[in-house]
Every structure is written in C-alpha cells, then in structure tokens.
Amino acid sequence: MEREIKELPAREKNGWAMLAVVLLMIAGGIAAFSVGAIYVDGIPAMAAVMAAGMIVFFVAIVLLCGFKTLQPNEAYVFTLFGKYYGSLKRDGFFWVNPFCTAVNPARASPTSPKNLSMKAMTLNNEKQKVNDEEGNPIEISVVVIWRITNTARAVFNVDNYLSYLSTQCDAAIRQVARQYPYDVSTNGDEKSLRGSAQEVADILKGEIQARAEMAGIEIMEARISHLAYAPEIAAAMLQRQQASAIIAARQKIVEGAVSMVKMALDKLSEERIVELDDERKAQMVSNLLVVLCGNKDAQPIVNSGSIY
C-alpha cells in the first residue's frame, strides 16, 4: 500500500548568522592549530589544542555545505539518509543540515540546479492523431499552464513530474476528443471541438487536474492550441465545408432576392405606377430573380414599345 507523504517545512536557520558562526570557527580553528604548532615542544597540552583546532576547522568546512540560497517562487526538497527531511519554500539565504540532499527528479541534466520552480509554466505537447466523436481522424495538440503546489507529491509520488504531466495531457485530450465532433454535427448540436472552445477547455482542464492531483500540480489553464483534420481526409472535408458554405450563401441570396421582389411589387402597387396581371407579375418575378440570383451580371434588353 502506497504511503501518503505530506509536505513538511524543512528545519533551517538564518544563513547570515550561521555564516558568522562558521567563519569564527574557521578563524578559531586556524588560530588554535597555529598556537599549538608553535608551542607544542615540551608542552603536551599544546598538542591537544592543535588537534582541537584541526577538528573545529574541518567541522566548519563541513558546515559550509549547508548554505542554500533560494529565489522567489523556488523550493528545495531535502532527504536525510533516504528519508524525507522537509521542503524549503521561502526565498532568502538559509543554512540546513549539511548531510541533507536536495532532490529534483525532473532536472534536465546532472549539472542542473536541484531546486524546484514553483512559477507558472507552460507545457505545449506535440500534435497527436486521434478520432473525434464521429470517428474522423484529426490532429490536435494542447497547451497547459501549470505550477507545482505540493513539492513532496511532485518529487516522491511520481518518477518524473514533467514526463508524468505530459503523458496525462495526451491521455486527457484523447478522452475529451472522443466526446465531441470536430465541427457542428448535422443534427444541429452546437457542441463541437471547433465551435465550443470554452466548454472543451473547461472539461479538458478538469480531466488533466484530476490526473495531476497526485503529483501536487495545479492546472491553471488548458486549451487546444492546434486542431485540424488529418491529412488523409483534409481535402474531402474541405470540399464538404466549401459545399456547405456555398449552400448557405445561396440561401441567403435567395432570401434577399425574394424580399426585394416582394418589395418591388408592393411599391409598384402602392404607387399605382403600372397595373400588372398575374402573368406579367410572374414574368417580372422570374426576370428579377434571374438578375438577383445569377452569378454573372445580367445583360438587359431595352424594350421601347409596349410591354404587351
């Protein structure tokens, strides 16, 4: 059974005060060793003074390893002989047990600093191919803004919190993408990956947060950064979108043309400019619709005689 590790504050002392103590110990050790070395002949007590000076000096050197400096929004996680010692999260100059070891499993290289950053960071995962609700293959990627809130969980609950978060983001985006179509579905559902960006972002954030909780990570924001059909179906889907756009445009043109024809007939009737029977009205409607709905400019024919 996994044991829950609670975050504890590390026992530390003021760095400047301890620095003064260590410097005094170094100076005292050197002085005692020098005095003992000068007067050691014939005085057995001086040998003890010299030995004490050497011990104090080496103890001071060991104590020098306990000094730590932290910038704002940074933290150290310490272990002492394999056990969790505590976390240091305050900025400043401190001294801790020199036998403590700082742990950071997500370091880029062995020479990188061992402190953890608690600042807001951005994770931009690579594009991955998934299937939407309708089974269409799509390419999608997510950008996540996150930060560490529990240093003990981030270090001890997972092997590498950066790799863990990246993997969970991939799993969450696959889970969310299966719940929505890429675009608005034919039955009129307004929820889609492209059209419901805020709703999808909220669900995606909740999915990732539930997975990242055990690593002591807070998800501040999660949004889709790239969304497109997979290359093998992109051309066909583009043709479908173009056809839908043409149909919608034609519908708008016809609605406007019918409205204009009705307005023209009503205006002619109200002003009594000309009296038209049903046959002439039908011919006029036909001509106006051809002019208004045609793709090309109409070529008018001027009739100088009677319209009958």
Quick: pLDDT tens for 15-38: 999 999 999 999 988 888 887 776
Nearest alpha carbon to residue 132 among 180, 84, 167: 180
In-domain check, residue 3: no
The last residue of one of the domains, among 51, 74, 105, is 105
In-domain check, residue 308: no
pLDDT in tens, 185-232: 555 555 788 878 888 889 999 999 999 999 999 999 999 888 888 777
The neighbour count for residue 94, using CB atoms within 10 Å, is 20
Q: Same structural domain for residues 22 and 88?
A: yes
Q: Same structural domain for residues 22 and 68?
A: yes
In this predicted structure, the answer to whether residue 307 has a pLDDT above a threshold of 60 is no
Among residues of the chain, what percentage have pLDDT more than 70? Answer: 80
Nearest alpha carbon to residue 196 among 146, 132, 243, 137: 132
The last residue of one of the domains, among 200, 229, 258, is 229
Radius of gyration of the chain (CA): 39
Task: Report how far residue 159's alpha carbon sits from residue 107's, in angstroms, rounded to the nearest whole number.
Answer: 12
The one-letter code for the residue type at 141 is: S
Please, what is the average pLDDT of the chain?
82
In-domain check, residue 185: yes
In-domain check, residue 110: no
**Full DSSP string of 70-137:** E-TTEEEEEEETTEEEEEE-S-EEEE--TT-EE--TT-SSTTS--PEE-S-EEEEPPPEEEE-TTS-E
Q: State the burial class of residue 275 (Cβ atoms within 10 Å of its Cβ: 0-12, 13-18, 19+).
A: exposed
Q: Same structural domain for residues 40 and 92?
A: yes
Task: Report how far residue 74's alpha carbon sits from residue 91's, in angstroms, rounded to the nearest whole number.
Answer: 7
β partners of residue 224: 142
Q: Same structural domain for residues 90 and 126?
A: no
Q: Same structural domain for residues 264 and 202?
A: no
Q: Same structural domain for residues 79 and 152?
A: no
Task: Report how far residue 143's alpha carbon sits from residue 224's, in angstroms, rounded to the nearest whole number.
Answer: 6
What tokens appear for 200 in the block? 């999808």
Q: Same structural domain for residues 128 and 220?
A: yes
In-domain check, residue 130: yes
Helix, strand, coil proportions of the chain in percent (round to 5)? Answer: 50, 20, 30
Q: Same structural domain for residues 125 and 224?
A: yes
Q: Is the pTM value of this prediction over 0.75?
A: no
Task: Report how far residue 307's alpha carbon sits from residue 3's, in angstroms, rounded to the nearest whole number.
Answer: 97
81 CB contacts (<8 Å, ≥6 apart)? 99
Please give the pLDDT value at position 100.
92
What is the pLDDT confidence band of residue 1, given thresholds at 50, 70 and 90? very low
Among residues of the chain, what percentage have pLDDT more than 90? Answer: 37
- pLDDT (average), residues 136-143: 88
Question: What angle in degrees, to the nearest 10, is found between the helix axes of 44-63 and 15-39?
Answer: 150
The neighbour count for residue 74, using CB atoms within 10 Å, is 17
pLDDT in tens, 253-302: 777 778 877 787 777 777 767 666 667 767 777 767 676 666 666 666 65
What is the pLDDT confidence band of residue 138, given thresholds at 50, 70 and 90? confident
**Whether 120 contacts 220, CB under 8 Å:** yes
pLDDT in tens, 110-133: 777 888 999 999 999 888 888 888
Number of domains in the chain: 3
pLDDT in tens, 165-191: 999 999 999 888 888 888 775 555 557
Which residue bears the tokens 């403590």? Answer: 100
The last residue of one of the domains, among 180, 198, 229, is 229
The range of the structural domain enclosing residue 171 comes to 121-229
